[in-house]
Structure 1
Amino acid sequence: MAEKAEAEYYSKDFEWEDLRRVVENDPSLRYHLTPFVSSSSCAAPAVEADAWRSFHRRHSAGKFFKERRYLLKEFPELIRISDPVKVLEVGCGNGSTVLPILRAKQNITVYACDCSEEILRKAEEIIATGSAISLVPRFFTFLLDVSVNDFPDWLFCTSCRRNSSPEPANFSSDSRGENLEMSHMSAFLREDQCCIGGVDFVTMIFTLSAIPFKRMPSVIEKCLSVLRPGGLLLFRDYGLYDMTMLRFLSEQRVGFCEYMRSDGTFSYFFSLDTARNLFLAAGFTEVELTYCCITSVNRQTGKSMQRVWVHGKFQKPV
């Protein structure tokens, strides 16, 4: 049963172009395709972050947790390296992405951030109880709204980024500052280190779509800044004409392909061109980019649903 569930995520059940023709020829869906005139009514950062915190509080129960076991098949690069690997999970939620990555190999350490303190505690709880082998020593969380704030210097300080040195530089002064919000700092940062020296992978799994479109370029640039040269950003998010997009009402549109739910949270639906332009403009090179088109069936109603996700891999130039 588990193998079948995993297969649903990386099979290709239909062609995106076929779906596009159906949607674009349906008069009832035409409002999704019309140009959108921007306004100043977009939610303020504090309100937006509060909406996601409220969302996480409502869905903090264990039933909401679905481990993303398919990730290692979609992104095998995570487990191909025998040397120690550092992964930054942006918008970790309850740890559904982190758990299978940590389980995969003992050489992987994951640093995870989210804008909700409650959901970070939930992720820590799930990681602590999610395996017979303790994964806690290789999992570190920190509170951050990446759509508003920069990553802290301890990830990859300015000096080390400039030198692109494989090892973090020594302290020349008290350069760590006051932004070391992560617990267990002594477990991974030596006294003679100013930062962890950057990460090998950044994972953004259904995270970017939750950020207002106008802030996406800066978020992607921030992700590029903490990657080591040659590092990969692994991306999966909602694709254009996904079933969820077609369910939004016209009054929920807040931009082109951008919607706001009744609870105040955002959802954006990416075309391949939009995703490509965003990442290339930030300085990444494209390794892989495609639509993932899945037909899933509602067990209660028997209704088929056409899901569309964008799957991408982008590399920081060496």
Structure 2
Amino acid sequence: MNDEFVARAQEVLARDTSTVPEFWQNKYRDEAAKNWDKFYNRNATNFYKDRHWTDREFEELRPGYTFAEKNPVLLEIGCGVGNFILPVLERNPSVYAYACDFSPRAVDYVKASDGYNPDRCHAFVCDITQDQLTDTIPPHSVDIVSSIFVFSALPPEKQAAAVSNIVRVLRPGGRVLIREHGLYDMAQLRFKPGRKLADNLYVRQDGTLSYYYSTERLRELFVAHGGLVELDNDYVFRRLTNVKKELDVDRVFVQARFQAPLDSSALETALQDAHIVGPQTEEERRQAWEALYMHGCVPPPAQ
């Protein structure tokens, strides 16, 4: 991030020294699912727009992307009312999808949608911080797990449990695609005093939580804790301008891809796929490392 931008943001955040009282902190953390269910009761399917931008950002979601399986399996966590999963199914006729949310009302909206086909999609209620995904999904069977603005709704102390839950259904070489609210985003800087629960964790007026991520925090969760390989993990900056509303603000997101490593027996296959056997020269070793990286066996090669 730009040093000047970070300094300005930190100055704004430093002014807010108050935190929500402990009783209310515990209540908001414990009732996260309940408050999101109320959110969907108020807004139905009218709040979020369909997310048609996702396959532009993540090549894995594009029709025809090559997977180990002929018919790739996708799991969307925090599916809401289907603004992500339904467009994906429409564009990708070969995909089978699981979709879960901890709001029963949201899952009901997905199932009632015209685009929902139980032969191609199974939507179910699940709190990924405590309900085991393997109760519904076979272990290590999912090619892609998508998480679009989901982990920000979870209290920090429950995020690691959610990662462990996801890893259990991710196949070797499978990928996790994430987009989250980033540290110093406009929405974080605009919270008024009395809304902060902890560092980078806030509660909205409707009782739902919002956590703001650094790339380091995502790396801690998915690499250090989850044991995945980091493919990409960067900040995404967008300038939001609306002349009519007199808006000109910075939006900050974190976008990342993590991959489940292959076991040692698959290393030789990875090398053979790249037509590399017995690397000797520096260039051959570099090519071998890149081949293993693309198969989720090692971290990215040094730049």
Q: TM-score, normalised by structure 1?
A: 0.74
Corresponding residue of 2:126:
144
Q: Name which of 96, 112, 116 aligns with 2:99.
A: 112
Corresponding residue of 1:92:
79
Corresponding residue of 1:155:
137
In the alignment, the residues of structure 1 paired with residue 196 and residue 32 of structure 2 have an alpha-carbon distance, to the nearest angstrom, of: 16
In the alignment, the residues of structure 2 paired with residue 38 and residue 149 of structure 1 have an alpha-carbon distance, to the nearest angstrom, of: 28
Corresponding residue of 2:8:
22
Change (3 A) 1:59 1:16: farther
In the alignment, the residues of structure 2 paired with residue 113 and residue 17 of structure 1 have an alpha-carbon distance, to the nearest angstrom, of: 39
Deviation readout 1:96-134 (Å, 9 max, x if unpaired)? 1112211222111110001112111212333x25xxxx7
In the alignment, the residues of structure 1 paired with residue 258 and residue 74 of structure 2 have an alpha-carbon distance, to the nearest angstrom, of: 14
Letter in 2 for 1:150: Q
Shift of 1:216: 0.3
Corresponding residue of 1:78:
61
Corresponding residue of 2:289:
none
Shift of 1:274: 1.1
Letter in 1 for 2:40: H
Q: Is the 8 A contact 1:298 1:305 kept in 2?
A: no
Deviates more, 1:69-78 or 1:40-49: 40-49
- Equivalent residues in 2 for 1:207-286 (5 A)? 207-280=150-223, 281-286=225-230
Q: Is the 8 A contact 1:42 1:254 kept in 2?
A: no
Q: Is the 8 A contact 2:133 2:165 kept in 1?
A: yes
Matched, 1:310 2:296: no
Q: Secondary structure at the match of 1:274?
A: helix
Shift of 1:152: 3.6
Corresponding residue of 1:58:
42
Letter in 2 for 1:122: Y
In the alignment, the residues of structure 2 paired with residue 44 and residue 271 of structure 1 have an alpha-carbon distance, to the nearest angstrom, of: 23
Q: What fraction of aligned residue pairs are identical, expressed as a percent?
A: 30
Corresponding residue of 2:271:
none
Change (3 A) 1:302 1:136: farther
Q: Is the 8 A contact 1:45 1:148 kept in 2?
A: no
Letter in 1 for 2:66: I
In the alignment, the residues of structure 2 paired with residue 232 and residue 35 of structure 1 have an alpha-carbon distance, to the nearest angstrom, of: 39
Shift of 1:283: 1.1
Higher relative contact order (CA 8 A, sep 6+): 1
Shift of 1:46: 5.0
Change (3 A) 1:149 1:16: farther
Shift of 1:23: 1.6
Q: Secondary structure at the match of 1:42?
A: helix
Shift of 1:72: 0.2
Q: Which runs of 5+ in 2 are unaligned?
A: 263-303
Deviation readout 1:201-236 (Å, 9 max, x if unpaired)? 100100000000000011011111110011000000
Q: Is the 8 A contact 1:199 1:231 kept in 2?
A: yes
Deviation readout 1:228-273 (Å, 9 max, x if unpaired)? 0110000001000001101112321111101112222110000111
Corresponding residue of 2:237:
293
Following superposition, which runs of at least 4 residues in structure 1 exceed 4 angstroms of deviation?
Answer: 15-18, 34-40
Q: TM-score, normalised by structure 2?
A: 0.78
Q: Which runs of 5+ in 1 are unaligned?
A: 1-14, 162-197
In the alignment, the residues of structure 2 paired with residue 124 and residue 37 of structure 1 have an alpha-carbon distance, to the nearest angstrom, of: 37
In the alignment, the residues of structure 1 paired with residue 51 and residue 209 of structure 2 have an alpha-carbon distance, to the nearest angstrom, of: 22
In the alignment, the residues of structure 1 paired with residue 53 and residue 213 of structure 2 have an alpha-carbon distance, to the nearest angstrom, of: 21
Letter in 2 for 1:77: E
In the alignment, the residues of structure 2 paired with residue 16 and residue 115 of structure 1 have an alpha-carbon distance, to the nearest angstrom, of: 37
